[in-house]
Structure 1
Amino acid sequence: MLRHKGKGRTYSHNLKLASLLSGVAGMVNICGVFALGTLTTNVTGHFAYFAETLFLQDFSTALVFMVYILFFLLGAFVSGLLTESVSGRFHTAYVMPLALEIVILCAVTAFGEIYYGTDRSPIGALACALLFAMGLQNALVTRVSQSVVRTTHLTGLFTDLGIELAQRLIYRGNTERTRLRKSIFLKLMIIIGFFFGGIAGGYLYQYLQLRALLLPVVVLLFTLGYDELLFRFYRLKRKLRSKAT
């Protein structure tokens, strides 16, 4: 899912990646809404609130929304920096952003358990941490899939989906219709993954509060583990085949 790039990357890789990590984004987003009262997977809404509070001359609140925006940007920047710094060893490039995302989600869970609901509850800091983590994830997935997959927000996705559904009705060539069918299905899987991630995260939050963030951690660990096990399996298979010949 994550190791392959360029011509070695297939539709199946993007489909698996989209399904898993869009679910992660949905879970993180709903936990952020319930626990912190803010969206944590995109910055569109934060820009609107920033403009509103700036107009109302509530400069301290406007500053908070600007910080949220900058932390998402910072996450994307750090993800790009980590990935590019080891671009010659791409098989490990994806590990660092996802590992950092796992650490952040675990830290938010831990600090949330200690301070959430108290007078010292660091809601702003926790929101910044989740926005940073989602910036990390979105930048990594965008780069790995060559901008085919984005998992943390749906606005552009619904726009592209609407365009492609219209093209599906108009185009008659088999090649073009096949391409559109695959692209539409991929986008639907991202939407479904985000939706069911939100449902699962919301359900767990009722019982676990911020500990519900451990579920996306499990999904991220599975993603890394699956990729590594599959890589080792195919490498062993090639070795056995070469010995047999």
Structure 2
Amino acid sequence: MTKLLPQEIRSAGVLQIGGPTAISPYVQVNGKGEVSGVIVELMTAVGAKLGVPVKFNNIAYSALIPALQAGRVDVGIGTFTDTLARQEQVDFVDYILTKMVLMGRPETEEKIKKVDDLCGQTVASPSGTTSEIVMKAQAEKCKAESKSALNILIVPTPAEAQLQVETGRAATFVQAYGVGIGIAASGQNLKILGQPFRPEYHGAGVKKGNKQLADALMAGFKAIMDDGSYAKILEKYQLASLAMKEPVYNGTSTKPLAAE
């Protein structure tokens, strides 16, 4: 399947992957600089099908699309949500489902159960994320309904958003469902508030118009889904409920998910 890849990637002999590396269980890095996680295993398996090794580069979400556009990396990953706005700059090969969850300290659980409960609260959000989009939309809704203002603390990374909540500077932060489950189970005194919401796709992003690479990734993901390795990886990380039967190209516009 190597012939499916663009010539420049075949010549380089490596698929350069970019995204944040501190979003357990999706991608994390240890003290030796070794990456692990569900997306690392999935992309490594896809690379093996395509006949090239993969190299992971730590890039914040706010810098990821510019890195793709400049050709510094070939593929953007992480909890990289396929949105209509992002599709104007990036094409997505969607390979796993996601939902959002609100997370906060246990004492917050009674007063915050859904996004509409955030008026009058301070929330933390990483820059350049879907969380930021959701929080800004809710802030406008609070204003339009003449409710108390929603204050948003914009921080560079998801870990820093979590820290704002742990230290009491913010009441809640938004996290991907799979990450939230891990945080809630890890004894960090944080809980999922209310029910998951906003079903979406997480995708592997490529430079807009790079259809050859997108098609190659579609074939790679289809191959690991068909041979059962995809399901085994998701089961290992307790994310089987987020599995897809086949990859989808720009799914938010071509195969939108029903709202819950």
TM-score, scaled to structure 1: 0.24
Higher relative contact order by CA 8 Å / sep ≥ 6: 1 or 2?
A: 1
For the pair shown, the structure with the greater C-alpha radius of gyration is 1
Which structure shows the higher helix fraction?
1
